[in-house]
Amino acid sequence: MNPKFGSATENGLHHDKVAILDAGSQYGKVIDRKVRELQIESDLLPLETTVQEIKEKGYKAILISGGPNSVYDEDAPSYDKSLFTANIPILGICYGMQMINSEFGGSVQKKDIREDGQTAITILEPTCPLFSGLSKTQNVLLTHGDSVDKIGEKMKKAAVSSSDIVAAIYNEQMKIYGVQFHPEVDLTENGKQIFSNFLFNICGLTQNFTMISRKEQCVKYIKDKVGNNKVLLLVSGGVDSTVCAALLRYALNPSKIIAVHVDNGFMRKDESDKVEKSLKEIGIDLIVKKAFNQFYKGTTAIKKPGQMYSLETPMLCNTCNPEEKRKIIGDVFVKLTNEIISEMNLKPEEVVLAQGTLRPDLIESASSLVSKNADTIKTHHNDTELIRQLRQQGRVVEPLADFHKDEVRALGYDLGLPAHLVERHPFPGPGLAIRILCAEEPYMEKDFAETQVIARVIVDYKNKLERKHALLARVTEATTDDEKKELLRISSSYEISATVLPIRTVGVQGDKRSYSYVLGLSSQVDPNWNDLIFLAKLIPRILHNINRVCYVFGGHIQFPISEVTYTHISNFTLSQLREADAIANEVMKLTGTTKQIAQMPIVLIPIHFDRDPANKVPSVQRSIVLRPFLTNDFMTGVPAIPGSDRLPLHVLGKMVNEIMKVEGISRVLYDLTPKPPGTTEWE
Ligand SMILES: Nc1ncnc2c1ncn2[C@@H]1O[C@H](COP(=O)(O)OP(=O)(O)OP(=O)(O)O)[C@@H](O)[C@H]1O
Ligand SMILES: O=c1[nH]c(=O)c2[nH+]cn([C@@H]3O[C@H](COP(=O)(O)O)[C@@H](O)[C@H]3O)c2[nH]1
Ligand SMILES: NC(=O)CC[C@H](N)C(=O)O
Ligand SMILES: [Mg+2]
């Protein structure tokens, strides 16, 4: 694993250090980064690190991260209880706050309300040192299903959320603070101020840790890892592997580098040709390996929880399971690299594999390299079991494994790469294969019908309120007075339909993976997009089995959707999606919108709208989802709002109209879901 970057200050001064205890949060490394940006060194340590070890290593403060578990679970991760009587200042975040509250005799329980997304909190104690300099109302990121019920002894409630849930607790004398929200992510607007208050005003730390250049640290790591071997570098042409290629060339003799681009058949229109040309531009000659069939017919061995042995998966062209798709693709990549090594008469023991793996790739795959307690949100193809075995043998070099996307871009510019390469939108390794939602039958569990009814109660709130609908309480109990007023206003101004789609997408809620229904909103008139954004944030908090809310263009959805179009990865579905993707990206490029958006996945879903059940029209068409996403580090983010300067309505309108001309497309949808509870990709 990468050494700790910047393990010493340039001026050799002593500097204070902070211990971050990892309870398995998706954002553990983001905490580390935010502390480092405040020029304090921090180390991400296992949650069970003892007080003795913390004292011996001279850590001056403790941060406890969030995590996917529940403190009241039998199998909740263990920790040293004497942390809380060691007189070391503590800031607990989300799960960390729930741990503090439990330790001081308080209670934590799962409540009806989930909170996943940016929410307003009210500071109740303006003298609380953690909130010094902050206004009474703060926009923060909450993503949790458990909440503090009874406050622990000696603890004081410092803030509450808009749903009246405890958002912060503290004991000033003991210098112990807990926040239910996540100050480390961009969706908490004044997170950096909160960390600054804790580290400097409360802990009294000295701000003098400056990073030795991360580029030089990378060079040292590369030289140590590669030694006298050759490097087989896998280049997708995306930012990360392009920067990785430039970094390797900066650190090594170019003759040691073999750069390979795999055309796996899931690339965008003309992508592999463009990649070959742009890498040549910066002096990197690629070997292009065409391998569609190996991927298309690929299989792998997967061991499901509780199974004694692993089972062979169906071929990629026959599976609908996102994790199976990802693992098959990841393993075929590795098998291909072994083929290339033998084709080039190289000895495996004389070659190391280089990838542009980033921190988010590893934490979302729950790699033990980065966390023992994290949940697997989605297995990134560059972190499968086979890759992990190669890593164990020391045969993988990943200089960017400690970086987030925006930091990679900064390094890319530092290495002199051109903007059109550095600013490219990310494109996932499995490519279009994880952007085709495959299905053989509709996903309709016993909660489907009730979910459909409650979704309708939400969007038709005014009428349902007047008629005292039987399930009205499910909405009124999970919403604040202001939210009820908003629902009343929206449902009085124009009619919105809500249709649950019998498909699932991957999401992240409370640091845990979710695989839940999609909700389609539709209207006869042009929507008010801010109203839709409000509904998209509210609905998953009320209906925890929905992690994706979209607007469906083309007028009201007339008929309920109870079937899916039989869909697997095939030349036809790939060409349908590739065509729609090319159209959307061309419109974005021609209208100068590309740089306004961080990434815009285009997704093919097996839904054929507008089929009158009476006429028994078979479900043969599919639909396209547009997912323009705004983020810096891809750990959290929000949808671009149509009509904003990021995405003018005429640009969106052109995308929709042009995509509707693609053969076999039923409707176009717009993904309104923040991360969390959705993720950037749909699988
Ligand atoms: N088609 C491909 N050919 C060769 N290597 C690939 C390919 N796709 C992915 N990889 C490898 O997997 C890693 C992660 O893939 P990913 O899709 O994230 O591309 P990237 O280079 O990281 O850029 P970005 O994430 O910005 O698209 C890459 O850094 C690269 O090493
Ligand atoms: O190299 C990759 N292999 C993968 O398997 C993979 N899955 C998601 N992504 C990219 O990661 C970022 C975060 O995506 P999510 O919010 O969907 O997890 C986004 O930029 C995604 O495009 C991948 N990249
Ligand atoms: N993000 C977190 O730390 C979540 C804590 C806990 N798993 C919950 O859902 O409340
Ligand atoms: Mg990447």
Closest atom of ligand 2 to 506 CA is: 17
Nearest by Cα to 549 from 435, 463, 627, 637: 627
Q: Which atom of ligand 2 is nearest to the CA of 356?
A: 1
Atom number in ligand 2 closest to CA 634: 13
Alpha carbon separation from 57 to 9, 16, 585 (Å, rounded): 17, 11, 51
Question: Is 317 noted as a catalytic residue in this protein?
Answer: no
pLDDT over 90 (residue 591): yes
Q: What is the mean pLDDT of residues 113-128?
A: 93
- Radius of gyration of the chain, Cα coordinates, nearest whole angstrom: 25
Taking the CA of 101 as reference, the closest ligand is 3
* Ligand 2 atom 10: residue of nearest CA: 428
Q: Is the pLDDT of residue 5 over 80?
A: no
Which letter does DSSP use for residue 238 in this model?
S
Q: What is the DSSP string of 613-671?
A: GGGT-----EEEEE--EE-SSSSSBEEPPTTSTTS-HHHHHHHHHHHTTSTTEEEEEEE
Tens digits of residue pLDDT in 267-321: 999 999 999 998 898 888 999 999 999 999 999 988 887 888 888 889 999 999 9
Instruction: Give whole-number Cα distances, 295 to 274, 317, 329, 492, 681, in Å.
Output: 21, 9, 6, 51, 20
Which residue puts its alpha carbon closest to atom 3 of ligand 3? 66
Q: Is the per-residue pLDDT at 3 higher than 60?
A: no
For range 156-185, the mean pLDDT = 97
Distance 356 CA to ligand 1 centre (A): 6
Q: Ligand 2: residues within 6 Å at CB?
A: 326, 360-361, 364, 378, 380-382, 426, 428-430, 599, 634, 675, 679-681
SS (H, E, C) 556-590: CCCCCCCCCCCECCCHHHHHHHHHHHHHHHHHHHH
Helix (H) or strand (E) holding 85, with range, is none
Q: What pLDDT shows up at residue 134? A: 98
Angle at CA of residue 632, ends 631 and 634, nearest 5°? 65
Kindly tell me if the per-residue pLDDT of 204 is higher than 90: yes
Asked if 30 and 62 touch (Cβ cutoff 8 Å), the reply is no
Distances in whole angstroms, Cα of residue 557 to Cα of each of 258, 490, 499, 658: 53, 18, 7, 20
- Band (13; pLDDT cuts 50, 70, 90): low
* Closest residue by CA, ligand 1 atom 19: 238
- Predicted confidence at residue 137, as pLDDT, reads 97
Q: Does residue 378 register a pLDDT over 80?
A: yes
How do the residues of the chain divide into helix, strand and coil, expressed in percent and rounded to 5?
35, 20, 45
Position 7 pLDDT exceeds 80: no
Q: Is 203 a catalytic residue?
A: no
Nearest ligand to the CA of 97 is: 3
Residue 628 has pLDDT above 60, yes or no: yes
Q: How far is the CA of 633 from the centre of ligand 3 (A)?
A: 20
By most ligand atoms within 8 Å of CB, the mutation choice from 365, 681, 683 for ligand 2 is 681
How far, in Å, is the centroid of ligand 1 from the Cα of 426? 9
Q: Averaged over 643-668, what is the pLDDT?
A: 97
Does the annotation mark 184 as catalytic? Answer: yes
The per-residue pLDDT for 12 is: 57
C-alpha 680 – ligand 1 centre gap (Å): 16
Is the beta carbon of 426 within 6 A of some atom in ligand 1? yes
Q: Give pTM, 2 decimals.
A: 0.92
Mutate to test the pocket of ligand 2, among 185, 327, 380, 632 (most ligand atoms within 8 A of CB): 380
ipTM for the predicted complex comes to 0.95
Active-site choice (15, 144, 182, 381): 182
Confidence of residue 69 (pLDDT cuts 50, 70, 90): very high
> Which ligand 3 atom is the nearest neighbour of the CA of 146?
10
Q: What is the pLDDT of residue 212?
A: 67
Q: Is the CB of 286 under 6 A from ligand 1?
A: no
What's the pLDDT band for 159 if we cut at 50, 70, 90?
Answer: very high
Position 387 scores a pLDDT of 82
Confidence of residue 362 (pLDDT cuts 50, 70, 90): confident
pLDDT of residue 616: 86
Which pLDDT does position 211 carry in this prediction? Answer: 67
